Structure 1
Amino acid sequence: MLRALRQPMRAALKRRGYATASTPFVPPASLQSVDQLPPRRRIPEKTKPESPTFYTGRSDFYDQVTQLEVAIAHTRRALTTLELLPLPAFARASLPPAQSVWRSRDDMSGLFARTLTTSRYRRILVLLQELEEYARIAHTAGHDELGEGVSSVLEVFERKDKAAVLARGKRKPVQFDRFGRSYTVGRRKESTAQVWMIPVQQPKATPKPSVAPTMGAYSLEPVLEDPLAPAPSSRPAGTITTTTILVNNRPLNEYFPSPADRERIVRPLKLAGALGAFNVFVIVRGGGTTGQSGAVAHGIAKGVVAHVPEVEVILRKAKVTRRDPRMVERKKTGQPKARKRYTWVKR
């Protein structure tokens, strides 16, 4: 019976052709015209990034670095063409000092739209310092146009209060009034002294005319006397007294009975060789006698330098024009004084 069933199946398989040899199936949509087919979807092309550092993840930082390096290269090439580079060591040492005040790391991070690490901040400063040195070379050599172009790039990275920062360490010039008086302020510890210094006016000998004065020979304008100048006395010339220095409207020897305090006050005048050449009026407040005498000496030293600039080097070497920064050390908790300690007793 199985053989009877297998024979018809074999006959049917013989009549069936192979799949590869038969005509393939073609869907009806493919038989349509090519124009009627829907357009193929095209993959949009990627736009080219504006910056070559787009894929670094820190394009803002590296773009600024690249621009600074390009500016350095152009400036170096221009200075080399002008035969200003390479610069000898002695010429480089004679350049004016740098007057740049760069932004802080946090402030400069706003230019890069991200927080700068310390290493990246230092890298920026190295490039800026090199560019600033080229600007100083250009200004010193007289090529102001090149120097101004470099300075315009550096201004982006400088602080807005640059002038105020550079003026912190500079001493303000002493102002004189119409009578030639100088006003200075001295400080020491908690004491502050306001010092007015007036040069001593030597009397001038005027010849007595034998005839009546005329408008052409003598001036008939009244002479304005300084109201704070001391009255002439019968003392011989060259006599030095301590009454030429008044402290809080009292003579120096009365306000400071200690010889050490008086010696500290007149020391700037002795160093300058101007003892007795000025009348000094002082208003001092705060602190004790040691602090007040130091404040008065500081103010007198500044006033002497204003009147006689030639002695500035002498007084600066003697360290009397600079304020003494030493202060009283604070008392420590649980101890009697700043340095004194209680004796340890074993019980």
Structure 2
Amino acid sequence: MESSAIRHGVRRAIAACQNTSKRRALHQSSRCLATPAQGEGIKAAAPIRFSSNRNQFSKGRPRAQLIEDDDAGSARRGRDGRFGDQRLLRNIRIIPASPSYFTATPRMTDDMLHLSQLLRRYQTLPVLPPGEAPRVAWKTRQQYKIEVLEPVRAKDYNMILTLLKRLNYIHRSLIPAEVTQTLEKYKRLVQPHLNKPKPIEIDQYGRARAVGKRKTSTAAVFLVEGDGQCLINNKSLTNYFGRLHDRECALWALKATERLNKYNVWALVRGGGLTGQAEAITLGVGKALLAHEPDLKPALRKAGVLTRDPRRVERKKPGKLKARKMPAWVKR
């Protein structure tokens, strides 16, 4: 009887060892029972309040209570603010001061955006007719590049100049102060067109004194009403200039306006050759004649006697016959 019971128990043990599901259940049950189900001093942890859960817990609570709770939490963290205000840091978003902070040319880009914004804001204002805008000498690209300390391409600076010229066409009586201040920022310190020459005045003897220059020649010309006499360095016109071309060139301003027999010319000339001296006298006579009769300005300008000729003679180079003429043996 005992032997049969022992055989039955051994068979059950072998069957349990061969069946993995029963062995796992037995192991798990033994592992769970290894720790006592109820122990002394064991308590549940407090719930974690994440930032996403804060709004869930704050629903239905008054705002004053929420602020009071946050202040209490800050006081618990420390009055000296070592750890900072976590609530404030969660709501802060650091934004660059300039919208083009991360570009290679932030200052130039900001200027272009500012000018575009002004043009969009005031583009409906009346503008001046074409060609009647005030003359302005804008800063060069090199000057602007030194001012902003950034690499400025010619294409980008041309876009800035286009915006400036368009804003400069706004009517003077309606142009806003904001636009005027912005335009002043891009103007040169010295405006060349504002430097006007001193007007030639007629003295008490009826003489108008003007100075003319050509190449290295300088002529001081005195023009007074008379019968057509002409003295150059205390010599007559025919004695001083042997060539007919130089004589006609010296008095071309009077001949072009048909004033040869109405004025007397006295000139003091020095430097250069005869041709340069004759052309210097031409410019001086034209300026002096304009002081007597300002209405002749269109005719004198058309005759080309009010503008100095800046051309100079090109000097001879070593090894050449003239300025650019090569010797004959070189051509061979």
- If the length of structure 2 is used for normalisation, what is the TM-score? 0.68
Quote how far apart the aligned CAs of 1:113 are.
Answer: 4.9
Q: Aligned in 2, Cα 1:192/1:15: closer, same or farther, shift over 3 Å?
A: closer
Structure 2 residue aligned with 1:211: none
Structure 2 residue aligned with 1:215: none
Which structure 2 residues correspond to residues 1-347 of structure 1 after superposition, within 5 A?
16-18=30-32, 42=86, 44-45=89-90, 46-49=92-95, 51=97, 53=99, 55-57=101-103, 58-77=105-124, 79=125, 84=126, 92-93=129-130, 96-109=132-145, 112-134=148-170, 138-139=171-172, 144-146=173-175, 148-162=177-191, 165-167=192-194, 172-200=198-226, 244-344=229-329
Show structure 2 runs of 5+ residues with no match.
1-22, 49-71, 78-82
Runs of 4 or more above 6 Å deviation: 12-15, 19-32
Superposed CA deviations along residues 181-213 of structure 1, whole A, max 9, x for unmatched, are: 21111122221111111223xxxxxxxxxxxxx
| Contact 1:185-1:299 within 8 A present in 2 as well | yes
Counting aligned pairs with the same residue, the percent is 30
State the one-letter code of the partner of 2:222.
W
Return the structure number with greater relative CO, CA threshold 8 A, min gap 6: 1
Q: Aligned in 2, Cα 1:267/1:16: closer, same or farther, shift over 3 Å?
A: same
| Contact 2:231-2:237 within 8 A present in 1 as well | yes
Task: Give me the whole-angstrom Cα distance separating, in 2, the residues matched to 1:13 and 1:124.
Answer: 82
Task: Give me the whole-angstrom Cα distance separating, in 1, the residues matched to 2:190 and 2:115.
Answer: 23
3-state SS in 2 of match to 1:197: strand
Aligned residue pairs total 278
Task: Give me the whole-angstrom Cα distance separating, in 1, the residues matched to 2:143 and 2:310.
Answer: 32
Superposed CA deviations along residues 300-345 of structure 1, whole A, max 9, x for unmatched, are: 1221122122322222222222223332122122112124332128
3-state SS in 2 of match to 1:183: strand
CA RMSD of aligned residues (A): 4.1
Task: Give me the whole-angstrom Cα distance separating, in 1, the residues matched to 2:251 and 2:242.
Answer: 14
After superposing the two structures, state which structure 1 stretch, 304-313 or 16-25, moved more: 16-25
Task: Give me the whole-angstrom Cα distance separating, in 1, the residues matched to 2:232 and 2:168.
Answer: 51
3-state SS in 2 of match to 1:56: coil
Superposed CA deviations along residues 142-191 of structure 1, whole A, max 9, x for unmatched, are: xx2535542222111111112xx2246x6553233233321111122221
| Contact 2:100-2:109 within 8 A present in 1 as well | no
Q: Aligned in 2, Cα 1:65/1:178: closer, same or farther, shift over 3 Å?
A: same
Q: Aligned in 2, Cα 1:150/1:346: closer, same or farther, shift over 3 Å?
A: closer
State the one-letter code of the partner of 1:69.
S
3-state SS in 2 of match to 1:326: coil
